[in-house]
Amino acid sequence: MKYDREQFKRILKENGLKVTRQRLVVLEAISSCPEEHLSADEIFALVKVDCPEIGLATVYRTIQLLSELHLIDRINFDDGYVRYEMGSAFDREQKHHHHHLICSNCGKVISFQDDLLEELEEKIARTTGFEVVDHEVKLYGHCKDCRRK
């Protein structure tokens, strides 16, 4: 969240990359939908409004770039598309404790904040010697609305 255009320009320059209209527009589109998990096609559609000449290949290349800079994160809900959401670079605090609740019935995805996994991570480090840096948690079940029925 908390996307700042000037900060983004600075990050690009620091990495020896050029500031282009396409890059600004793609990140702006993603940051303007903080509750969505957009696919490349969806981002393409959004971005075309402000920048009709953009090509799908550029969207893919930009997404890849933003992902490498940790400005956005990839998520896979196994629906045939890789999806993206704002990443941890702008807002460090929040990311690590962020899970996804996926309704098996209607497909809705809800984000959920929690830090209960720290205990699990410690236990893993103790028993297996594996040092946990990041995690991805998907919880499948039935959302409130679908349970009513």
Partner DNA sequence: GTCCATGCAAATGATTTGCAGTATC
Partner DNA sequence: GATACTGCAAATCATTTGCATGGAC
Question: Which residues contribute to the site for its own copies (CB under 8 A)?
Answer: 74, 76, 78, 82, 99, 101, 103-104, 110, 112, 114, 116-117, 119-121, 123-124, 128-144, 147
Q: Which does 138 bind (CB under 5 to 8 A by kind): its own copies, DNA, none?
A: its own copies
CA distances from 62 to 8, 20, 31, 66 (A): 13, 10, 14, 6
Could you tell me which stretch among 14-22, 106-114, 116-124, 126-134 binds DNA (CB under 7 A)?
14-22
Q: By CB under 7 A, is residue 23 in contact with DNA?
A: yes
Q: If contact means CB under 5 to 8 A according to the sort of partner, which of DNA, its own copies, none does residue 17 touch?
A: DNA
- 8 Å CB contact between 122 and 46: no
Instruction: Select from 30, 31, 38, 58 the one that contacts DNA (CB under 7 A).
Output: 58
Q: Which of 10, 17, 45, 106 binds DNA (CB under 7 A)?
A: 17
Element (H, E) at 2: none
- Nearest-5° Cα angle at 4, 99 to 90: 35
Q: Whole-angstrom Cα distance, residue 1 to residue 3?
A: 5
Contact present, 43 and 81 (Cβ < 8 Å):
no
77 belongs to the binding site for DNA (CB under 7 A): no
